[in-house]
Chain A
Amino acid sequence: MKRNIKIIGMLILVLSFSFIFMSGCAKEQVVKDEALVTEEGKAVDTATETEEREALLKEEEEARAALKERELVMQEAAAFEDIRFDFDKYDLKPEAREILREHADWLLKHTEFEVIIEGHCDERGSGEYNLALGERRAEASSDYLVTLGVDNGRLTTISYGEELPLDPSHNEDAWAKNRRDHFVVVTEKK
């Protein structure tokens, strides 16, 4: 419908222009015919262009939808939930395993992603021991994800010990937040 109205509108416009033209130079018949042919041709061209534009729009829309989905995936990737540990421990608690199972499901669905697992500790204890402890925490997640079917090659571990606390406060709440594995999901290994 829209397209028809457009074409009609254009024809009216063209015809009225040709009418003015004709009345201005009635003797030049050839020119008029040519002009008419040209106008018709133009009208057809416009129709094709519109179709193309439509297709393009559709494509764009699809791309936008894909992008949106991708964005969503990326958002999911960025929102990998941390898992937490007890003081001086690197064994996975039941709630941590649950979170890791979700991570594994997602990773099995989105195989183009890889994960850097960061092991962190709270500030208590020596920095050196905490680097080792952080590594154990990262390895614990990595090992569990592998048992859940995630390819070992997609997982990298790094320990930051107590060097990068999530919450720099010096209390039980902050410490609990800081004793964590953090997951950085990337499309290619850094």
Chain B
Amino acid sequence: MFFELLPLNFKPETDIMRIMRKITAFLVLLVFCCSCPAFGKVYIDIDSPAFQKFAAAIPDFKNIGSNEDTENLSARFSDNLTEMLKITGFFRIIDKNAFLEDQSKAGIAAGSIDFHDWSSIGAEFLVKGGFQCNGKDLTAEFRLFDVVEGKLVTAKKYWGTREEIKIMVLKFASEILLALTGERGVFETKIAFIGKKGKTSDIYIIDFDGSRLVRVTRNSSITLLPHWSQDGKKLSFTSYMRGNPDLYFIDLSTGKTKRIANFKGLNLSGPWSPDGSKILLTLSKDGNEEIYVMDIEKRKLRRLTYDPAIDVSPTWSPDGKKIAFVSGRSGSPQVFIMNSDGSNVRRLTYEGRYNTSPCWSPNGKRIAYEGMANGHFQIFSIDEAGGNFLQLTFEKGGCEYPSWSPDGRYLAFSSRKNGKIRICIINSNGLNLRTLHEETGMDAICPSWSPRFNFY
């Protein structure tokens, strides 16, 4: 459970807070300093070609409590935050060795900082923080300063346990991104994927940075196509656990699995609608693979495609008004677009003879897909009108299953290297490819990026 109270003045000992801490024994966040309205002002358009990385300094956090810092939390706060911000690709973090400030004298509030110490080493932004620990409990304050203007940009205070240090860092990294770019970034997201070991496969989840691997299913069967519900509480998937490829939902908090559709033939899981009320499916119950939309509450099905060829792999446009999908109707698999009621079907991809797995970007501008190029599958993107065709990956072993991050700035996909398939991430412009998860004895495929929500 997690509470966010906005906006409130910093009153750490209000009754509400005490009760919450007692009831949840978990992380509680509260804005404690609303003196400077950070929201609304976007510093720099990071999508602009002229964008230069933010130069930021993150000195070690100050122990402002009376207990000794036995676990070197001081450095862990700054190091973790440095790591998080680096992952975005939008920050240049200044080396601690270059710092001029006498940290034993300087404080963490605006009045006790000489911003010249920071501007003179090239920092545009400064993150300062303090913490206190008491037994298992950990309290931390984070402050982001605009060095050039010598002003506080945003500040937060978090209550939690020592184990939650990373969550506090993630939360504040998210605030930094929001303040500087107008969007929260992907810090509070996860990626579900399929881990394949021999003949069985299961769903696993990792954080956006590849950490904290959790195994979700143990079905001793084939498990496929995980898709997040909009609230991030459930996953839909297809599994052969009862023989036929049926559709299931799993509740991530309870682990309870429920069979949702078990028609004859394929019951393939697809994405949840932007409003969370519907889910796209591929069913072959009528003797031919067709795309259906199901009202989750009423379990009502509506068939959207009517073509004797294979129709499969639907994806919603972010406004829910259109659906891109794959069809073999033109002789080979190609991406098509239709209205969400199945009308107005038109072909989107013409380049290449095998294009599948479309994924519509959350900002609506582009559709990513996998296509065959020189005998290998690579990730491409194209705009809705079929223009601005772009090849994003050029990996020898091939890349498949693109999935956008909720801010549309990254794509997760699976890529084969040295005979093993791993989960990778790339910026939407094709730069900065990196491996997010690889594991001995397991192929990691079919990533599905979660929506942004409060996981913690």
Q: Which residues of A contact B (CB under 8 A)?
A: 88, 124-129, 131-133, 135-136, 139, 157-160, 163-164, 170, 190
* Cβ B266 vs Cβ A125 within 8 A: no
Q: A164 contacts B199, CB within 8 Å?
A: yes
Other A-B pairs, 9, CB within 8 Å; known A132-B289, A136-B310, A158-B243: A126-B356, A127-B401, A128-B224, A128-B282, A128-B326, A131-B268, A132-B310, A158-B245, A170-B419
Of the residues B224, B332, B333, B357, contact of A163 by C-beta under 8 Å: B224
**In the assembled complex, how far is the CB of residue B253 from the closest CB belonging to chain A, in whole angstroms?**
28
**Given A126-B370, A159-B245, A163-B224: A131 in contact with B266 (beta carbons within 8 A):** yes
Render B263-281 as a binary contact track against A, CB cut-off 8 A, 1 for contact: 0011010000000000000
Contact with A along B199-214 (1 / 0, CB 8 A): 1010000000000000
Using a CB–CB cutoff of 8 Å, the interface residues on chain B facing chain A are 199, 201, 222, 224-225, 240, 243-245, 265-266, 268, 282, 284, 287, 289, 310, 312-313, 326, 332-333, 354, 356-357, 370, 372, 377, 400-401, 416, 419, 445-446
In the complex with contacts A88-B354, A127-B446, A132-B266 CB distance below 8 A: yes
- A124→B370 CA distance, assembly (Å): 11
Partner of A128, one of B199, B201, B356, B377: B356
Are B222 and A126 touching (Cβ within 8 A)? no
Q: A88-B354, A132-B282, A135-B289 are in contact. Are A163 and B201 (CB under 8 A)?
A: yes
| Chain B neighbourhood of A158, CB < 8 A | 243-245
A167 to chain B, nearest CB (A): 13
* B223 nearest in chain A by CB position: A163
Q: Which of B222, B245, B313, B419 contacts A129 (CB 8 A)?
A: B313
Q: Is the CB–CB distance between A129 and B333 below 8 Å? A: yes
| Given A125-B354, A126-B356, A131-B245; A88-B313 close (CB under 8 Å) | no
Which of chain A's residues has its CB closest to B198's CB?
A: A168
Task: Answer whether A126 and B357 are a contact pair too, CB < 8 Å, given A159-B245, A163-B224.
Answer: yes
Q: Distance (Å) between the CB of B325 and the closest chain A CB?
A: 10
Q: Is the CB of A128 within 8 A of B333?
A: no
- A36 → chain B, closest Cβ, in Å? 72
- Interfacial chain B residues near A131, Cβ < 8 Å: 224, 245, 266, 268, 312
CA distance in complex: A88, B334 (Å):
12
B201: chain A residues within 8 A (beta carbon): 163
Are B284 and A132 in contact (CB-based, < 8 A)?
Answer: yes
Residue on A nearest B313 in the bound complex, by CB? A128
For A159, give its contact among B266, B287, B400 (CB under 8 Å). B266
30 residue pairs of the A-B complex, CB under 8 angstroms, read A88-B333, A124-B377, A126-B357, A126-B370, A126-B400, A127-B225, A127-B445, A128-B224, A128-B225, A128-B282, A128-B356, A128-B357, A129-B356, A129-B357, A131-B245, A131-B312, A132-B284, A132-B289, A132-B310, A132-B312, A135-B265, A139-B287, A158-B243, A159-B265, A159-B266, A163-B222, A163-B224, A164-B199, A170-B416, A170-B419
Q: How far is the CA of A88 from the CA of B352 in the complex (A)?
A: 14
Cβ-closest chain B residue relative to A160: B222
Report chain B residues within 8 Å CB of A124.
372, 377
Among A88, A126, A135, A170, contact of B266 (Cβ-Cβ < 8 Å): A135
Q: Is the CB of B225 within 8 A of A135?
A: no
Which chain A residues border B401 with CB–CB below 8 Å?
126-127
Closest to B238 in A: A131
**Which chain B residues border A125 with CB–CB below 8 Å?**
333, 354, 356, 372, 377
How many angstroms between the C-alpha atoms of A128 and B332 in the bound complex? 15
Bound together, the chains give a CA A124 to CA B373 distance in angstroms of 12
Closest CB of chain A to B336's CB: distance in Å? 13
Q: How far is the CB of B330 from chain A (nearest CB, A)?
A: 13
Q: Give the one of A125, A128, A133, A160 with max B CB within 10 A.
A: A128
B213 → A minimal CB distance (Å): 21
Q: Which residues on the B side are within 8 Å of A164 (C-beta)?
A: 199, 222
A135 to B268, CA, bound (A): 12
